[in-house]
Amino acid sequence: MVVIRGATTIGVDTPEEIKTAVGELLREVFDKNALTKEDVSAFVFSLTDDIHSFHPAKAARECGYDFAPLFACIEPNIEGGLKKCIRLMLLTELSREKVVKHVYQKGAKNLRKDLSGIMNIALDGPAGSGKSTVAKILAKDYNILHLDTGAMYRACGLKALREGVDPQDTAAVEKLLPKLNVKVEYIDGKQHTILDGEDVSTAIRQNEVSMAASHISAHRAVREKLVEMQREIASEMSCILDGRDIGSVVLPNAKFKFYVTADSKVRAERRYKELIERGETVDFNELHAEIVKRDEQDSTREFSPLCKAADAIEIDTSNLGIEESVALVKSFIQEKI
Ligand code: DC
């Protein structure tokens, strides 16, 4: 017996998506391996436990693969595993000498990095649009890295504050640059931002650092240094980068580009809640004014301003919850993957 493996993912759990995904997967497995009905002994599917709306074995039967026994079982939910995934083991009568081609489609390509290329997703947008939260969830679901580029600019802003350098002063910032030692490390898939050897992942979230980051990110020399680091990381592995200029400058050739935005009041409310939950004292109106100011600074600066790349898909999260926003982004990725 020779087994051909396959896997695919769905964006939303609907019978139509499942039937389409199973049909496409089987078609490619059959085409790539030039299979006939007589070659097949059984179809064995497994599905992740977040799929409920339709049975993949029934989908296969409905797609005309009714000439061999069909079976499907649910996989246990494994932390960090790919979500909404349907796997196939096709048991065949092929000779052992035959070289078979396994098929990994859509998000499942990532299960076999050797079969897939590097997948980069650019997620740009203003502060508080929800892009970071969306990026974190997508990275987990697709099992790829999340690079929060804002954290890198925040570390530069923190460095300036610590050294008593005005982040708006170009000459002083340029003098500071050779001393700037920012790194990102990953521990259990979570980004840690390191400044001069110290993990500053929490310190960079302070409100005063936000404005310093916005100012310091306007300098060409700062951007050149950080953009180079970001490109290097993205060239080595599949990742989702969130920032302001990913789709327009850092990775203009990224296959997937999104511009996540929301009304400034809604964004201020989100940041307000976040800071209050962290025990910080903040005034809502001040926070809103700061967000508007930061938007203006980020989008009017000379080098790599915040902007929607011409080919980016705009996602307005003003009236969307996190899950809805993620599902929307995923539905576009699934279409193109
Ligand atoms: O996403 P954030 O709020 O953590 O970003 C902090 C600041 O860094 C933001 O005001 C603008 C800047 N930034 C940037 O200029 N380019 C990026 N790719 C990411 C962030």
Question: What confidence score (pLDDT) does residue 69 get?
Answer: 97
Nearest ligand 1 atom to the CA of 210 is: 6
Q: pLDDT band for position 29 (50/70/90)?
A: very high
Task: In whole angstroms, give the CA distance from residue 25 to residue 40.
Answer: 15
* Mutate-to-test residue for ligand 1 from 202, 217, 260, highest number of ligand atoms within 8 A of CB: 217
- Ligand 1, atom 5: nearest CA belongs to which residue? 150
| pLDDT tier, 252 (very low <50, low <70, confident <90, very high otherwise) | very high
Residue 166: the pLDDT is: 98
Any idea which residue has 């899950």 for tokens?
Answer: 323
pLDDT tens for each residue of 109-158? 777 655 556 789 999 999 889 999 999 999 888 878 899 999 999 999 99
Distance (Å) from CA 149 to ligand 1 centroid:
7
Res 112: pLDDT? 66
Q: Which of 152, 321, 177, 178 is nearest to 242 (CA)?
A: 152
Is the pLDDT at 203 greater than 70? The verdict is yes
Nearest CA to ligand 1 atom 20: 150
**pLDDT of amino acid 168:** 96
The alpha carbon torsion through 320, 323, 328, 333 (nearest 10 deg) reads 150
Q: Which of 156, 161, 229, 244 to mutate to test the pocket of ligand 1 (most atoms within 8 A of CB)?
A: 244
- The percentage of residues in the chain with a pLDDT greater than 90, rounded to a whole number, is 75
Phi, psi of 32 (to 5 degrees): -65, -30
The pLDDT of 197-208, averaged and rounded, is 94
How many residues does the structure list for the chain?
337
Geometric angle at alpha carbon 248, from 242 and 252, rounded to 5°: 95
256: phi then psi, degrees, rounded to nearest 5: -120, 125
* Predicted confidence (pLDDT) at residue 99 exceeds the cutoff of 90: no
What six digits make up the tokens of 287?
């926070």
DSSP 176-242: HGGG--EEEEEETTEEEEEETTEE-TTGGGSHHHHHHHHHHTTSHHHHHHHHHHHHHHHHHS-EEEE
What structural domains and CATH numbers belong to the chain? 2-116 (3.30.1330.40), 120-336 (3.40.50.300)
Cα gap 152→201, rounded to integer Å: 10
- More confident position, 236 or 80: 236
Q: Give the binding-site residues of ligand 1, using a 6 Å CB cut-off.
A: 127, 149-150, 153-154, 210, 213-214, 217, 243-245, 294, 298
Helix (H) or strand (E) holding 271: helix 264-277
Nearest CA to ligand 1 atom 9: 214
Whole-prediction pTM value? 0.70
Query: How far from each other are the two terminal CA atoms of the chain, in whole angstroms?
Result: 32
